[in-house]
Chains A and B, each alone.
Chain A
C-alpha cells in the first residue's frame, strides 16, 4: 500500500494525521461552508454588513421565500423532467449499441465505436447553432423533450463507451454457449447479457443524472422560460434578479446542489465505479 499506512508510524504522527484531516477538509470546503451559512443568515444581517460575524438568528425563511416567491420549485421539477427521461433514454440506447459493438465482430465495428467515443469529446459549440435551429424547426424549442432528446443523443456517446467495455469484460463463453444452443440474438441480449448489466446500469444512471442535472450550456441554448428551464439556467436568471441578495443566491445554490449530492451519497459506490472506468486496468 502506498503511502505507508499511518498505523505503522509513531503515535505523534498518527495524532497529527487525525488532527490534519478535519482541518484540511474545512479548508477544502471553505467556500461551500460559507455559502451554506450565508443561506441561513437573515437578510438584515447582510444589510448591516454582518457577512461573517455571528448571525443574529437562523433564517429558514430564506428557503421559504425562494420556494414561495420564486419559481425555484418549478425549475427543479423541470430539471427532473429533463434528467429522468435522459437517463432512461441514454442507458437504453447505449445498452443496445454497447452490446452490438462488444459482441459482434462486424466490419466497421471499431470505426463506429471510435465515432461514438470521439463524438463524446467534441466541444458543444460546434453543435450549438444547428441543434438549436433544428429544435426550433421541429417546434421543440423551450420544451423539456427538446432538451432531453439532445441530451439522450449526446450522452449515448459516453454511455456506449462504458457499456461496450463492460460487456467486453463479461465472460464471452456465456454467449458462445447460448449460440451453440441456437438461442436467438435478441434473447441472448435480453436474457443473458442484460441481467449481468445491473451494476453498469446503476453506475451510468447516477453519472448521467449528475451530468444532466448540472448541465447549464444546453439549458441556456434550448430553453428560455420558467415553464421549461432547468434549475441551472433558472438559478442563473434568478441570480440576475437577486443582485446583492446573497442570502437568496446562497439558498438557491444549496438547493440546486442538493439532488446530485444526495444521489452521490446514496449511490457512491456506483458513482465512483462509473467515473473511474478505465482509470485502472
Chain B
C-alpha cells in the first residue's frame, strides 16, 4: 500500500472502509522513501509482490520529495521513526549510526548469505564490523560521448573499453580545433566535478589511494596527490568554460547539441540525454581512460540503501522485507524498471539496454574496487571542502598551491594526527 505524505486522508478513509476487515489482522511495516515517479512505481510493484507472498504483512510506503527528504530524515528518525528508511551507504549513514538511529542488521546479512551475494557492497554497508544497510541498487559512472561530435571533429569513435590517456588528450586537442568542448560538466552544485576528480585520482593512483584520501589519511601536498592535480590540469583547458555557473542539466544540453563531445557522468543522465533527443545510435559509453599503466581499474558506483531504524515498531517483519530487497528476484525487477544495476551478483540486467550492459560489464570487471563517490566516501564537511577545491582548480588552475594548502589545513583540523 502506498500513500502520499498528506492530502491522503480521504483516500485513507476509503481504503480503511473497503479493506478494514482484511487490514485488521495485518502486521504493518512502515517505510519512508524519496523516490521519483519511476522508482516509486517500481517500489510499489515490489511491495505488491512481497505482500502477495506474505499476506499477513502490510508494507506502507510514505514517499517524500528527493531534496526535502535529506532534511526530513533528520527529524522523523527521532520524532516519528518508520520501520524502514531510505538512505545512502558509507560515510553518509555514519551520523545516523553513531547517534543510534539506524539499527544493526548484521543478522539479516548473516541469515541470508548476503556477505557472499552482496560481496561488493560489504565495505560500504559496514561500520565497526556491523552491517547497517541493505544495498539494493547502484549505477556506474564513466564517460558518455556524442558520436556526432566525434564525427564533426573527425575523431575516431572509441569503443566501450575506452582509449588511453594520451589518445584522449590528443583527441581533446582536435575537439578544441573544431570549437567543441572535449569534456563538459555543470558544476554549480559542486558534485559533478567530484566525478572527474575521482576518476583522475583512481586512474592515477588506484582505489586504495582514493579511499585513504577520502578518509583523510593522505596529505594533499604529497607527491601522489600532486600527481592527481597534474593530470587534472592536463584536462582543465578542455573543460567547458563557465561550468561553475551552470547545472549538470545545462551541460547536458550542450552535450546533446554536439557542442561538447564527452561528459563524465553517472548512468542516471542517460534519461536526460535521450529526452534531449539522443538515441543509442549517437550516444556512447566508455570507461574513463587509463592513466598510470598497470593500475587495477576501479570504478565509481554510488549505492542506494534501505535501513532499519532503531525506533522501528515492527522490526521482525521489517527485516523480512529487507531480506526480500536483498534478493536477486527483487533486485532484478526493481533495477530493470529503473534502469540501474542490481548489487546482488545473482541478479540479472536487461541485455537490450547497451548502457546497463556496458555498466554491468565495467563494474564486474573492475578488479581495482568500487568507489562510492567522493561525497559519500568522505565525511560531509571534508567532502564539501574537497569539492570546492576541485571546482576552484578547474576554474583557476594557477591557484594550485593555495588550494592544496587550504585542503591540507582542513584535513589536519578534521583528522588530527
Residue of B nearest to A245 (CB): B249
A185 within 8 A of B: no
Collect the chain B residues with CB atoms within 8 Å of residue A139's CB. 79
Interface residues of B: mostly helix, strand, loop or mixed? helix
Restricting to A250-280, which residues have a CB under 8 Å from any CB of B? none
Q: Is A183 an interface residue (CB 8 A)?
A: no
Tell whether A141 pairs with B75 under 8 Å between CB atoms, given A227-B6, A243-B247, A244-B253.
yes
A225 touches B64 (CB 8 A): yes
In whole angstroms, how far apart are the Cα atoms of A227 and B65 in the complex? 11
- Report A-chain residues with C-beta under 8 Å of the C-beta of B68: 224-225
- A96-120 interface (Cβ within 8 A of B): none
Q: How far is the CA of A211 from the CA of B14 in the complex (A)?
A: 41
Cβ-neighbour of A237 out of B67, B250, B253 (below 8 A): B67
A:215-247 near B, CB below 8 Å: 224-227, 237, 240, 243-244
| Residue B416 at the chain A interface, CB threshold 8 Å | no
Kindly supply a per-residue 1/0 record for chain B positions 361-404, scoring 1 wherever the CB is within 8 Å of any chain A CB and 0 otherwise. Answer: 00000000000000000000000000000000000000000000
Contact yes or no, B249 A136, CB < 8 A: no
Q: With the chains together, A159 CA to B3 CA distance in Å?
A: 43
A227's nearest neighbour on chain B, judged by CB, is: B6
Q: Which residues of B contact A237 (CB under 8 A)?
A: 65, 67
B130 on the A face (CB < 8 A): no
Number of B residues with CB within 8 Å of any CB on chain A: 15
**Interface pair A224/B71, CB less than 8 Å apart:** yes
Q: Is B7 an interface position by the 8 A CB rule? A: yes
List 4 tightest A-B contacts by C-beta distance, closest first.
Answer: A243-B249, A224-B68, A227-B6, A243-B247
Q: Which of B243-302 contact A (CB under 8 A)?
A: 247, 249-250, 253
Instruction: Check B249–A244 contact: CB distance below 8 A.
Output: yes
- Which of B7, B67, B75, B247 sits near A227, CB closer than 8 Å? B7
Contact-residue size bin, chain A (C-beta under 8 Å from the other chain): 10 to 19
Residue in chain B with minimal CB distance to A224: B68
Q: Say whether B75 contacts A136, CB under 8 Å.
A: yes
CB atoms of A136 and B67 under 8 A apart: no
**Chain B stretch 55-93: residues in CB contact (< 8 A) with chain A:** 64-65, 67-68, 71-72, 75, 79
A227 CA to B67 CA, complexed, in Å: 15
The answer to whether B5 has its CB under 8 Å from any CB of chain A is yes
Give the chain B neighbours of A226 by CB distance below 8 A.
65
B6-28: which have CB < 8 Å to A?
A: 6-7
Interchain nearest-CB distance for A206 vs B (Å): 32
Query: Taking the nearest CB of chain B, how far is it from the CB of A101, in angstroms?
Result: 38
Tell me how far the C-beta of B32 lies from the nearest C-beta in chain A, rounded to whole angstroms.
13
The interface residues of chain A lying within 8 Å CB-to-CB of B79 are 136, 139
Contact indicator A240/B75 (Cβ below 8 Å): no
Q: List 21 A-B contacts (CB under 8 A).
A: A136-B75, A136-B79, A139-B79, A141-B75, A224-B65, A224-B68, A224-B71, A224-B72, A225-B64, A225-B65, A225-B68, A227-B7, A237-B65, A237-B67, A240-B67, A243-B249, A243-B250, A244-B247, A244-B249, A244-B250, A244-B253
Which chain B residues lie closer than 8 Å to A141 at the CB level? 75
Among A136, A139, A237, A243: residue with most chain B CB under 10 A: A243
* Cα A244 to Cα B72 with chains together (Å): 28
A224: chain B residues at CB < 8 Å are 65, 68, 71-72
Other CB < 8 Å A-B pairs besides A136-B75, A225-B6, A237-B65, 4 of them? A139-B79, A224-B72, A227-B5, A243-B247
Complex CA–CA separation, A225 to B7 (angstroms): 12
Kindly provide the distance from the CB of B375 to the nearest chain A CB, expressed in whole angstroms: 18
Please report which residues of chain B, range 194-251, place their CB below 8 angstroms from some CB of chain A when the two chains form the complex: 247, 249-250
Provide the residues of chain A in CB contact with B75, threshold 8 Å: 136, 141
Contact status A225-B5, CB under 8 Å: yes
Q: When chains A and B are docked, how far (Å) is the Cα of A136 from the Cα of B77?
A: 12
Taken together as a complex, chains A and B put the C-alpha atoms of A237 and B70 apart, in Å, by 14
Rounded to whole angstroms, the CA-CA distance of A136 and B249 in the bound complex is: 34
Give the chain B neighbours of A240 by CB distance below 8 A. 67
What sequence of 0s and 1s flags, for each residue 152-188 of chain B, a beta carbon within 8 Å of any chain A beta carbon? 0000000000000000000000000000000000000
